[in-house]
Amino acid sequence: MRVLMIAPPGAGKGTQGALIAAHFDIPHIATGELLRDHVARRTGLGLAVQGYLDRGELVPDQVVLDMLREAMVAAEAAGGGFVLDGIPRNMHQARAAYLIGRELRMTADVALHLQADDAELMRRLLARAALEHRSDDTAEVIAQRLAVYHDVTSPIISWYRDRGILVSVDAMRSAPQVGREILAALEAMRPFLDVVPEQARLPVDLTGLGDAFGVTSPAAGTSG
């Protein structure tokens, strides 16, 4: 199973990415964690990245793509599955990640889109900042990160939709509810991934399932 995640900051992609990785026993490639590790260790890369994180700006593409290639080579050696969390965040990254995947014969099976509104995302991220004292999670920086997401990241959703690999999930609910829905959808899709070519697939929108079954539980504070 090869999954990439598309989500605004605070939508829970870290939480759900870890759940997917554990369930399918595949590597969780979280670019944010890799970058923060470099920052914490004050490597040359980390010192360069710190300023971008503090301002809520995206790290330069080539830095992230170099990290991605290294992680995907390791994932290939481990069996070929992965959960990609934190990239792509723009069309250049999306196309570059696709080319890396083609080269390694491990393009994504699913582009998992977590949807949540800005007010809930702000609430979650401010709560996380209070607990973790993260310098990149002030109200001003969060607003900038959300603006960047809407301006730069959202347009790639249509690209994955056109490819037939987009799966959209309502992330406004509690993490366990969202996780159960994601795993059920991925398990249902898994038998068909090797037999149905990408060009013959259709996007899947699960965001209305809660309303259809009368489930309107508010989201509980998970973020990622």
Please report which confidence band the pLDDT of residue 216 belongs to, taking 50, 70 and 90 as the band edges.
Answer: very low
Measured CA to CA in angstroms, residue 195 lies from 104, 112, 162, 201 at distances of: 19, 20, 19, 11
Average pLDDT, the chain: 85
Domains of the chain in sequence order: 2-212 (3.40.50.300)
CA dihedral 26, 49, 126, 156 (to 10 degrees): -60
**Burial class of residue 158, CB neighbours in 10 A (0-12, 13-18, 19+):** exposed
Segment 91-115, tens digit of pLDDT: 999 999 999 999 999 999 999 999 9
Whether pLDDT at 182 is above 90: yes
Of residues 160 and 32, more confidently modeled:
160
As given in the structure block, the two tokens for residue 215 are 């489930």
**Cα–Cα distance between 10 and 95 in angstroms, integer?**
24
Segment 119-168, tens digit of pLDDT: 999 999 999 888 987 776 789 999 998 998 988 887 899 899 988 899 99
Angle at 92 between CA 116 and CA 20, to 5 degrees: 45
